[in-house]
Amino acid sequence: MASHARRCAVVGLALVAAVSAACSGGAGSHSGSAPPHHAATSHTPAGGGNAPNPAPTESNPPGDIPDNQVYVAYRPGGGTFVFTGFTVKVPEGWARTDQKNTTVFTDKLNTVRIAAASASSAPTVGSVTNTVVPQLRTQVPKFASPKVSEVTRHAGRIVLLTYQGDSAKDPVTGKVVRDAFERYAFYRSGHEVDLTLSGPVNADNVDPWRIISDSFTWQ
């Protein structure tokens, strides 16, 4: 009986030791790794090193003529126009192109076009509506939204035609811009001068265009 009791005691002690070792090993394994939900959580600081840099801010929106733009008086030469009895202010530094009775100033997305012609009578809202608008429909891509009215400028009462159209395709990028146009028809003594200002739709060029159109003067 005594030997049987000793064998039972030894077996019991062995079982206790085995259980203790198993528990100790499991605890060590658990403490060495984070719980699954902790491992799936990332705490990368906002604006970390992998975030892209903000795009640079433009000093002026596309198509806006700068507020500090300088204007200079332009008077056509006899080699370009059949008559030279007028002046108009144009933005300084813009590229200039001369054709017969037409001079064009351009810079980026904006254009100032000055065209002169002989005319037997002064343009009216009716004549511009019935003659000029149909012509422009065939000349300006996606011509739209024509509006003809009389306005007052320094030179007096004149006819204004506003409309929209697509620009010519950029030869480098192939991009086409939707443009807004203001066409002013000035008239005196058998001579008509058409001043057309254009730039991207939604560009804030109200003040520059007013400066240019208000500067037109007969000599």
Mean pLDDT by 10 residues, the chain (219 residues): 44 42 43 42 44 47 86 90 92 95 94 95 97 97 97 96 93 90 97 96 94 97
The residues, any chain, with a CB within 8 Å of residue 56's CB and separated by 6 or more, are none
End-to-end CA distance of the chain: 140
Check residue 171 and give its pLDDT: 83
- Where do the domains of the chain lie, and which CATH numbers do they carry? 71-218 (3.40.1000.10)
Distances (CA, A) of 166 to 75, 97, 130, 136, 181: 29, 21, 22, 12, 10
219/209 Cα distance (integer angstroms): 21
3-state secondary structure of 131: helix
Residues 86, 87, 92: CA angle, nearest 5 degrees: 155
pLDDT at position 60: 53
Sign of the CA dihedral running 64, 154, 89, 103:
positive
- What's the whole-model pTM score? 0.71
Q: Are 157 and 216 in contact (CB under 8 A)?
A: no
Residue 94: the pLDDT is 97
- For residues 117 and 143, give the distance between their C-alpha atoms in angstroms, rounded to a whole number: 23
